Amino acid sequence: MAAQPGPEDPDLKAAQIEKLRAETEKLKAEKTKLEQEAAAVPRQARGSYWSEVIKILGAIVLGIGGVVTAGGSYFVARNQVELAEIKSSQANEKAKIAESTAAAAEAEATAAVKLRDAARKEEADAAKSVQELRNSLAELTSKVQTANPDLLKRRLVYIQFQGDLSRSLINELRKTLETQSYSAPGAERLAGEYKGLVKYFRPEDEQAAASLLKSTEAFFLSKGCPIQLRAIQAQAATTAPPLELWLSHSCKQ
């Protein structure tokens, strides 16, 4: 039976050293081979390789801190949901306000249309009333001319007025004009878009219109509330139209 080598056996040590040297050379050769292969691999391929390595390492890290990462994702997602709900609520509130505003605007528009239609109707009625009065005055003028020609030496005047003018003041104006060769049998309060003026309808009535203008201005000046009038020629629907005195003024008496 052969003797077992001792711990200090020189042959055993020599064999171990030789084995270690051989393994070292083998590792060096493999290292060199790997370096050569790595140098031969395109840069993009090496990037893909290291990307895979990083993914693996990332997976390891996620495995270590996965609870923290997942928890953070949960809170981010929950905040996004809450923010979406807030935005949705705000949008609904804005929509309600817009609908309410639209409904109010529609109601106001409807009311405005009604007021406009009513104003147009009043305007049409007023125009019709004026035309009827003109026709009646023209008919009256014709009858008076037949019955009493001397009476028509007075110029017929139709008065309509608006503003802060009392009926008693207008009646006083009528009486004043009657002392100056005018006949103003009546006056009508009529609202409308007009200012102070005298209308005449035939060129030969221009002088009479200017005289009526001056008499009316003098009357209001004597009352302490002067007025400025202008005379214009207008179209007439009758053959013998009267002069028209339109007053839009304020004169408290």
pLDDT, mean over the chain: 75
SS3 of 206, please?
Answer: helix
What are the backbone angles phi and psi of residue 81, rounded to the nearest 5°? -65, -45
DSSP string, 165-181: E-HHHHHHHHHHHHTTT
Q: Tell me whether residue 237 is in a domain.
A: yes
* pLDDT, position 117: 82
Structure tokens at 57: 């390492």
Q: Tell me whether residue 111 is in a domain.
A: no
Q: What is the distance between the alpha carbons of residues 179 and 168, in angstroms, rounded to a whole number?
A: 17
198 close to 212: Cβ distance less than 8 angstroms: yes
The CATH number given to whatever domain includes residue 200 is 3.30.70
Q: Which of 1-5, 76-80, 180-184, 197-201 has the highest mean pLDDT?
A: 197-201
Q: Tell me whether residue 200 is in a domain.
A: yes
Q: Which of 67-71, 131-135, 238-242 has the highest mean pLDDT?
A: 238-242
Q: What is the mean pLDDT of residues 15-27?
A: 76
* pLDDT, position 150: 55
User: Per-residue pLDDT for 108 more than 70?
Assistant: yes
* pLDDT, position 41: 55
> CB-based contacts of 67: which residues, under 8 Å, 6+ apart?
none
Q: Tell me whether residue 186 is in a domain.
A: yes
User: Per-residue pLDDT for 75 more than 60?
Assistant: no
Q: Tell me whether residue 107 is in a domain.
A: no
What is the domain count for the chain? Answer: 1
Q: What is the mean pLDDT of residues 7-16?
A: 68
Q: Which residue has the higher pLDDT, 27 or 171?
A: 171
Question: How many Cβ atoms are within 10 Å of 209's Cβ, its own excluded?
Answer: 25
Question: pLDDT category, 158, cuts 50, 70, 90?
Answer: very high
User: Per-residue pLDDT for 59 more than 60?
Assistant: no
Q: Tell me whether residue 216 is in a domain.
A: yes
* pLDDT, position 230: 95
Q: Tell me whether residue 172 is in a domain.
A: yes
Q: How far is CA 224 from CA 165, 217, 219, 245, in A?
A: 13, 11, 9, 20
Provide the residue range defining the domain that includes 179.
154-251
Q: Tell me whether residue 144 is in a domain.
A: no
Q: What is the distance between the alpha carbons of residues 183 and 212, in angstroms, rounded to a whole number?
A: 11
User: Per-residue pLDDT for 66 more than 50?
Assistant: no
* pLDDT, position 60: 45
Q: What is the mean pLDDT of residues 143-154?
A: 61
Structure tokens at 226: 């002067």
Rg (CA), the chain: 56
Structure tokens at 135: 């026709």
Q: What is the distance between the alpha carbons of residues 198 and 163, in angstroms, rounded to a whole number?
A: 17
Q: What is the distance between the alpha carbons of residues 82 and 221, in angstroms, rounded to a whole number?
A: 78
Q: Which residue has the higher pLDDT, 65 or 51?
A: 51
* pLDDT, position 118: 79
Segment 224-249, tens digit of pLDDT: 999 999 999 988 766 678 999 999 99
